[in-house]
Amino acid sequence: MLKYIARRLLMMIPTLFLISLASFFIIQLPPGDFLSTYAAGMSAQDADVARETLEGLEQRYGLDQPFHVQYWRWVSNIVCCGDFGQSFEWNRPVSSLIWDRLTLTMLLAIVSTLFTWFVAFLIGTYTAVRQYSVGDYFWTFVGFIGLATPNFLLALVLMWVSFRYFGQSVGGLFSPEYESAPWSVSRVLDLFQHMWIPVVVIATAGAASTIRVMRANLLDELHRPYTTTARAKGMKEWRLIAKYPVRLALNPFISTVGWTLPTLVSGEIIVSVVLNLPTTGPLLLRSLESQDMYLAGSFILMLGVLTLIGTLLSDILLAWLDPRIQYEKAGSR
Amino acid sequence: MTHVESTPVAEPEPERPDQPAETAPEAAGSGSGRKRNGSTVYTASQWRLMWWRFRKHKLAMAGAIFLMLVYLVVIFAEFFAPFHPSDHNGAYQHAPPQRVHLFEETDDGTRFNPHVKGYHYEEDEETWRRTYVTDEDQIYPIGFFVSGPEYKLFGLITTDIHLFGPKDPEAPMYVLGADRMGRDILSRVIYGTRISMSIGLVGVVLALVLGVVLGGISGYFGGWIDSAVQRVIEFVRSIPEIPLWMALTAALPRSWSQVQIYFGITVILSIIGWTTLARVVRGRFFSLREEDFVTAAVLDGVSKRRIIFRHMMPSFTSHIIAAVTLAIPAMILAETALSFLGLGLQEPTVSWGVLLREAQNIPSIAHTPWVLIVPGFAVISTVLALNFMGDGLRDAADPYNR
């Protein structure tokens, strides 16, 4: 087991390198950069200050240097001192901008995952046990609708519903009075009050497919001989289902985290732009529009890294849960 | 958003390849093949068996028929849309959908005369919001095959016939409402269908080429080539796709024309899309490589190329078709999301995402819900139909598997 984890960690290094390279490459793609735009705006006002700032910035980041030099400088600063560079637009270090937002993004992604599981677990079990019942068709249909509806559309509709029928202040994750308050019990409660819309919206993306995986797996298990044996021995039906087939059918939940997590993070980005949540989404969009390269690049890098860690955790969890998985070989395919 | 990868593609027992029975004398080495005992089931080609199986899937059939209609609309968008998507009318900004009346009350009694009624509006002094009231006196007759704005069908035939519309081309007809510029939402959704549906198709074709080539190489050769390709796939999939797409579309030069941006977006969408298809192809290759008929062909000294294209390809084309059908909705949804964020297509190009961008805030949803509902319905119903059809195709892809 330890060997497996160590190997997986080692394998992450080249992936991490590729992700960082890709994020840096992507943010270098747009023609022109923030500085040239910035300079055009500044020079009209006070040219001297502008030139000094520009030269300082240019030197600091080596913007006049070739790609690999710039990349090296960026990455080595991140690795050695956690310095993600400076946001041009906000005129603040990137690291001071991203952490709060990343934390909230990950919190949302995790809560959505748990919610997705909870919903998919219940509905998946129900639809498998009552195969071809009205409820089965109903939930299958709901699942399909969930798959077909763009996240942002659902967010818009729910936002409107909550505004129209619950009179709740919409958008954001906090009520105005808690916006910049320090963390406290009531602030957390306030957060959860606001979180249900994004969580529901994000979860529909993952739940629909997870329900179907759960249903298919449980259907396979339900007709195994061991189920018949247990039933023949007079075991109570629900106890039996919960104790054996469901437990086996749960594996895909863990093993698909690796796929659901990027989807959830993606969903979170769009939903938070629509709902204007203080998470990564709106700031990432803004930074991409204004070519605030270090901010955008750091966001993409960190989102990639966090997803990678999440996937790793789920793989370890799976290897631990299901002894049938040979983790010695698991990485080779 | 994407779901294709999460629904495991059934890995059925690999079967004998399936050239239509009459053209496959050399591959009749193994498997059940045709037993001529009179029943058509035993002599039917694989494609025929698949069709029978597909036909049984009612939802898939419904989806297929719906999609045929959608693509008909895509091809003849100019004919189906009563107006040009950028025709605007200042007096009808945010006008609600009009009711279509079939009968007209005249002094001589009721007579059949399909028409819509015009609106007049009152503007609120403070909010500038308009309230539209139906004007019973303004009657605009409508009909089928009327003359409207001129257009060129396929860029060749100049005509002005539209499937339906007002008999007077200048008359206001907004059966599904108008947007903030007084443009007909129905016409815009029809033109938007063309862009959104074709983006899905073009993107999938690109993804398919990449996926089949790389997945095929990976699956056929195995070994280090395989693990290299697998690492690349894992890497691409580990990055959350929306941020990646956002960054890439933001990188498209602003000076590009709409057509260039359109193709840029399809390329960007296929950058992630190909991984799913490559996995399907690789999986099939792996299971087929060990099959007896492949071994037989190898022992017969058949060339690699012929083995791949003649013996292995036919066995998994059907699976690929199913996978492709299931990949299109993901592309459509992605384009919609990107355009909605303002990173994808922009006005004056009309796509579903561009249309939904108009309904970005609560006031617009609360006061002009048709701006959201009409394109939203188009997206949901089409993606639903594609999913149903893809599901049916996947079930039918292996007709021998019971």
Q: ipTM score here?
A: 0.78
Work out the minimum CA distance from B334 to partner chain A, whole angstroms. Answer: 9
How large is the average pLDDT for residues A200-215? 80
Contact between chains at B384 and A148 (C-beta distance less than 8 A): yes
- Of A17 and B402, the one with more pLDDT: A17
Report residue B4: phi and psi, to 5°.
-55, -45
Residue A23 has pLDDT above 70, yes or no: yes
Which 8-state DSSP code applies to residue B348?
Answer: T
Global confidence as pTM: 0.79
Which residue of chain B has the CA closest to A265? Answer: B240
Q: Are B133 and B119 in contact (CB under 8 A)?
A: yes
Q: What percent of chain A has pLDDT over 70?
A: 79
Residue A2: alpha-carbon gap to chain centroid = 27
Which residue of chain A has the CA closest to B232? Answer: A15
Of A25-39, A61-75, A80-94, A99-113, give the lowest mean pLDDT range. Answer: A25-39
Amino acid identity, residue B211? G
- Of B86 and B191, the one with more pLDDT: B191
- Nearest residue to A212 (alpha-carbon basis) of B10, B186, B308, B340: B10
> Is residue B348 reached through a cis peptide bond, with omega within 30 degrees of 0 on the bond before it?
yes
State pLDDT tens for residues A279-299.
888 888 888 877 777 788 888
Helices (H), B128-222: 185-221
A307 contact residues in B (CB cutoff 8 A)? 238-240
Q: Are B116 and B175 in contact (CB under 8 A)?
A: yes
State pLDDT tens for residues A43-53.
555 666 666 77
Q: Are B400 and B13 in contact (CB under 8 A)?
A: yes
Using CB atoms and an 8 Å cut-off, which of residues 281-310 of chain A contact chain B?
Answer: 284-285, 288-289, 291, 296, 299-300, 303-304, 307-308
Q: Closest CB to B240: pick one of A273, A296, A303.
A: A303
How large is the average pLDDT for residues A123-133? 85
B242 contact residues in A (CB cutoff 8 A)? 265-267, 269-270
Work out the minimum CA distance from A139 to partner chain B, whole angstroms. Answer: 15
Pair of tokens at residue B94: 């945010």
d(CA A151, CA A266): 10
Residue B17: alpha-carbon gap to chain centroid = 30
Q: What's the pLDDT score for residue B295?
A: 87
Residue A322 has pLDDT above 70, yes or no: no
Residue with tokens 């898939």: B60
Contact between chains at A288 and B227 (C-beta distance less than 8 A): no
B227 contact residues in A (CB cutoff 8 A)? 332
Q: What's the pLDDT score for residue A42?
A: 59
Using CB atoms and an 8 Å cut-off, which of residues 195-234 of chain A contact chain B?
Answer: 205-206, 208-210, 212-213, 216
Contact between chains at A304 and B240 (C-beta distance less than 8 A): yes
A333 contact residues in B (CB cutoff 8 A)? 230
**Which H or E run contains B159?**
strand B157-166
- Nearest residue to B390 (alpha-carbon basis) of B17, B54, B32: B54
Using CB atoms and an 8 Å cut-off, which of residues 138-177 of chain A contact chain B?
Answer: 144-145, 147-153, 156-157, 159-160, 163-164, 170
Q: C-alpha distances in angstroms, A333 versus B227, B271, B279?
A: 7, 22, 11
Residue B36: alpha-carbon gap to chain centroid = 41
Q: What's the pLDDT score for residue A43?
A: 55
Given strand B130-153, what is the order of strands in its sheet? B100-106, B109-123, B130-153, B157-166
Q: What's the pLDDT score for residue B189?
A: 92
A210 contact residues in B (CB cutoff 8 A)? 6
State pLDDT tens for residues B35-58.
444 466 667 777 788 888 888 888
What B112-115 contacts at long range (C-beta under 8 Å, 24+ apart), as own/partner pairs, is B113/B141, B114/B141, B114/B142, B114/B143, B115/B139, B115/B140, B115/B141, B115/B142
Residue A236 has pLDDT above 80, yes or no: yes
**Which H or E run contains B119?**
strand B109-123
Helices (H), B24-97: 40-43, 46-56, 58-75, 77-80
Which residue of chain B has the CA closest to A302? Answer: B239
Residue with tokens 């503007």: B123
- Of A261 and B261, the one with more pLDDT: B261
Work out the minimum CA distance from B7 to partner chain A, whole angstroms. Answer: 6
Contact between chains at B227 and A31 (C-beta distance less than 8 A): no
Using CB atoms and an 8 Å cut-off, which of residues 69-128 of chain A contact chain B?
Answer: none
Amino acid identity, residue A179? E
The three-class DSSP label of residue B131 is strand
Q: Are B322 and B390 in contact (CB under 8 A)?
A: yes
Contact between chains at A27 and B2 (C-beta distance less than 8 A): no
The alpha carbon dihedral of B341, B342, B343, B347 has a sign of positive
Q: Are B337 and B242 in contact (CB under 8 A)?
A: yes
d(CA A38, CA A50): 9
Burial class (CB in 10 A: 0-12, 13-18, 19+), B169: middle
Domains and CATH numbers, chain B: 63-76+188-397 (1.10.3720.10), 98-173 (no CATH)
Q: What's the pLDDT score for residue A117?
A: 84
Residue A214 has pLDDT above 70, yes or no: yes
State pLDDT tens for residues B60-111.
888 899 999 999 999 888 888 888 888 888 788 888 888 888 887 777 777 7
Residue B200: pLDDT band with limits 50, 70, 90 = confident
B231 contact residues in A (CB cutoff 8 A)? 14-15
d(CA A130, CA B361): 41
Contact between chains at B240 and A266 (C-beta distance less than 8 A): yes
Residue A196 has pLDDT above 70, yes or no: yes
Which residue of chain A has the CA closest to B385? Answer: A148
Q: What's the pLDDT score for residue B193?
A: 92
Residue B3: pLDDT band with limits 50, 70, 90 = very low
Contact between chains at A147 and B383 (C-beta distance less than 8 A): yes
The three-class DSSP label of residue B106 is strand
Which residue of chain A has the CA closest to B6? Answer: A209
d(CA B5, CA B279): 9
B57-77 burial, b at 16+ Cβ within 10 Å, e below that, comes to: bebbeebbebbeebeebbeeb
How large is the average pLDDT for residues B254-274? 84
